[in-house]
Amino acid sequence: MNKYELALVISAKLDDETRTAVLDRAKDYIARHNGTVGETEEWGKRRLAYEIEKQTEAYYYFIQFETEDTNCPNELEQRMRIMDNVLRYLVVRKGENDTFSVAPEKTEAEEAEEGEVSEEEVEETAAEEAPAEEAAEEEAPAEEAAAEEGEDA
């Protein structure tokens, strides 16, 4: 069986029930082509990199599936193309040894939490880099002096 991943970007204007219906319809299309739906990852509402249909935010979903029907990805893309609530879609074939899983970007809250830890790391790094910077400053005058002696000759 071939493994695939369907990435969906769904309009943020929809309520939860309608969004769930869009996901169920996508899963139904996979099942119609003898596919087996695996894990469905919801990244939630994210800011778009650029405006799509006058929208700046959308919901991101990733559906893992397997199928022997090689026509399934093409059919799935055709169906997604005509769905009004799907802003963007992409079907990607995963390799046999692909073990990667999609991880969402960190939210601002998660980054803030890491920022607190990072401050400690920054202090440690600064302490380690300070001797290296001092050594570089000591070498600079010696290089300038050598350059001046070269000019005099």
The model carries a pTM of: 0.62
Domain boundaries, the chain: 2-94
Residue pair 30/16 in contact (Cβ under 8 Å)? The answer is: no
Say which CATH class 2-94 falls into: alpha beta
Closest CA to 43 of 94, 107, 132: 107
Closest CA to 46 of 38, 33, 55, 35: 55
pLDDT tens, residue by residue, 57-110: 999 999 999 988 888 889 899 999 999 899 999 999 988 766 544 445 555 655
Residue pair 58/10 in contact (Cβ under 8 Å)? The answer is: yes
Beta partners for residue 35, in sequence order: 67
**DSSP at 103:** -
